[in-house]
Structure 1
Amino acid sequence: MRARALSSRFEPLSTVADDPARSRLGVVRFADTSFNPVLRDGHPELTVHLAPDDRRGFAEIWTSSRGVESGEHKAITYAHDGEYLFCAGRIPPCDEHTYAGRLAFRAALELAGKLGYHHVFRMWNYLQDLNPQTYREFLLGQAEAFAKRPVTWSGLPAATVVGSLGGGIAFHFMACRTGTPVTLISPSGARGVYVHGRLFFTAPSLDDAEELMSAATLAQWGIDDGFGLHDITTLKAYARQPGDLSLARFDCDTRLDRETSVAYLQATLLQEDRAVEFEGIAG
């Protein structure tokens, strides 16, 4: 397994253990309520309403092998280690999604630019009452914010968009200081961003994920690398219905490495023809 300066794992909400060898960049709690991002013990913590109860919730913990500095900027909480920046924010429920999205991302990107992290390579957006119209409105505000700041991003292929159970719009993103992220898109709908020897991907099935991360596909995008399902370190499975979630669980149990950290969430998906969506990291 490759040494990783940036890493993530899933833990139960009740037992988020510290790793003395690594510093926390951020924690995302998937729980039965939502909270504004806060600084807790020197790292950002964002709570997203995506679990019916805390028993079925979990925490995603992002860590770094380097020392971390953290802070707050215009309601955005952040931490960075010299190479990676983790930013988190929340927009309360509102009707002006474009305006609110523009304000929130102006603040976040202003911060990223000042700290020297000029490329956003991965983003997660959790929208209450998700539908194509609200997402388009939010996306317009987001795009307007990027147009006014000296920060680029890998575009829609780099974003996960999921409907939450409440709390307005919660978001967090990762930005890097060096390297050139490469965006990949496959006809199946799988997509990803390759940076620093790792692939951050989203796919409608594990078969599609496997094809996207193969050496043959990566070579088409000028990348001399390749992965298999056994290289996935963390994976989230989102499904519309409990039955679809059970099928996703069976697929993961039978095809992924035992060391892969996997989490499951029932959620609204943006694409109406998609019953399940997988997103994770390989490498």
Structure 2
Amino acid sequence: MHLSSASLSLQPDEWKNHVLGGIGFSNASDTAHPKITNFPFADVEMPVLEGAASACEIWISDSSVTYEQRGLIQYSYDENTLFGVLLMPQTSALEQMTESAFMQIFSLLETCGYRYIFRFWNYLADINGVDAIGSDGADNDEALERYRQFNIGRQNAFVASGRELTGNLPAACALGTANGSLTVAFMAGRSPTLAIENPRQISAYQYPQQYGPRSPSFSRANLVLLSDGTQKVADTDQTLSPQKLLFISGTASIVGHETKHHLDAVAQTRETLANIEIVIQEANKKVGLGEFNMTDLLYRVYVRHPTDLPAIRAEMEHVLGRSFKAVFLQADICRTDLLVEIEATAASTIRLPEEQYA
């Protein structure tokens, strides 16, 4: 579900005891987020562009939830699903920080028995900035874009943990904030998931080296089959299970491996939605026609320049209709020539409350 921070703080304690975790977005100066200590919560410094000054995405379980801490990771779990948040302090170069963060996450999931990762949400400051690096064969005087450093560290952790680098990878996003530490939120389960790719695009893990020494480690989407009584994503008594949950990774105006429609936010939005539609079609081939559709998705839209928001929203209304559900955020995107990135989540049969969305 999506809530304002004020609404989150008003929820009853019984409700909060079923929360697996959440991700919140607000301006650095905004103090609306309540002090949340009983469940994992990623507090991301990222301005909300419409509606309330802050927004939260909350994941709820039908089952009783256990809350624990291991090192830097705050996490919770029920019988089927684990949700965690890791806030990595700035103690070393981003590549090393990222590798350490993912190694800690992989170790936790193996120990707890939730080795199948549904989704990663990654947020890092100055994603397009350039920093000195000191590993992967480079000396300390060499510089590399921070997103490319992040990809090196992430892939190193995948390799060291014996995880796949191609094929069945989790869904993910990586967005830039103005400030803040490396923040990684993640969701995982006990049963295998099904990665979905887009035939219009080269898989991210196969990108050529012009985009960095290591390719990104994620799939275009991840399809999760939930067991009985597992998840809610809306403020209702309805549950997702036994249902299918689709996590669509951060998606942009990329065809093949190349950015399309430079400097044109409207055309980039149109191309991005076309990519999402293809991903949905590919997912429906796996689970049956009509399981997922564009109008049932919950969208999170990352906008590089706030002045582009009216045009981006108008194009989304043109493609999706006026009743689509989205939260719009100001963020830097992994490529400097990308103006908009869109991610989404969907369940196959759940009805969602209109009032929770802009």
Judge same fold: TM > 0.5, yes or no.
Answer: yes
CA RMSD of aligned residues (A): 3.1
- State yes or no: 1:31 paired with 2:98: no
TM-score (norm 2): 0.66
Which residue does the alignment assign to 1:224?
288
| Partner in structure 2 of residue 193 of structure 1 | 222
Of 118, 134, 149, the residue aligned with 2:161 is 149
Please state which structure has a larger fraction of its residues in strand: 1
Contact 2:65/2:76 (8 A) holds in 1? yes
Report the Cα offset of residue 88 of structure 1.
Answer: 0.7
Query: Secondary structure of 1:40's match?
Result: coil
Please, which of 94, 99, 103 is the counterpart of residue 97 of structure 1? 94
Question: Which residue of 195, 198, 206 corresponds with 1:182?
Answer: 195
2:47 equivalent in structure 1: 51
Match of residue 6 from structure 1: none
For these two proteins, the number of residue pairs brought into alignment is: 268
Aligned letter for 2:20? L
Following superposition, which runs of at least 4 residues in structure 1 exceed 4 angstroms of deviation? Answer: 19-22, 52-55, 150-157
1:276 aligns with 2:340: yes
Q: Percent identity?
A: 26
SS at match of 1:269: coil
The SS at the match of 1:185 is coil
Letter matched to residue 2 of structure 2: F
Question: Does the C-alpha gap of structure 1 residues 94 and 164 become closer, same or farther in structure 2, counting only changes over 3 Å?
Answer: farther
Structure 1 distance, partners of 2:307, 2:201, is: 23
Task: Give the C-alpha shift of residue 273 in structure 1.
Answer: 3.0
- Looking at structure 1, the residues matched to 149 and 176 of structure 2 have their Cα atoms a distance apart, in angstroms, of 15
Q: Which moved more, 1:50-59 or 1:160-169?
A: 50-59
Aligned partner of 1:13 among 5, 9, 12: 5
Any idea what the Cα deviations from partners look like across 1:153-182, whole Å, max 9, x if unmatched?
877772101101111211111111113322
Match of 1:88 among 85, 88, 112: 85
Cα offset for 1:127? Answer: 1.1
Report if the CA contact (8 A) 1:130-1:164 is conserved: yes
Distance 1:207 1:183, change over 3 A: closer
Contact 2:39 2:75 in 1 (8 A): yes
Unmatched 5+ residue regions in structure 2?
A: 129-143, 204-219, 226-243, 253-271, 348-358
Q: Which runs of 5+ in 1 are unaligned?
A: 1-8
Once the two structures are TM-superposed, the CA of residue 276 in structure 1 deviates from its matched residue by 1.2
CA distance in 2, matches of 1:112, 1:27: 18
Q: Give the C-alpha shift of residue 101 in structure 1.
A: 1.5
Which deviates more, 46-55 or 57-66? 46-55
Find the aligned partners of 1:110 and 1:82 in 2 and give their Cα distance. 19
Q: Is the 8 A contact 1:239 1:277 kept in 2?
A: yes
Greater shift, 66-75 or 101-110, is seen at 101-110
**What amino acid does structure 1 have at the position aligned with 2:155?**
A
CA separation of 1:61 and 1:152: change in aligned 2, threshold 3 A: farther
Residue 50 of structure 1 aligns to which amino acid in structure 2?
M
Cα distance, 1:155–1:32 mapped onto 2, change above 3 Å: farther
Return the alpha-carbon distance in structure 2 between the equivalents of residues 160 and 237 of structure 1: 12
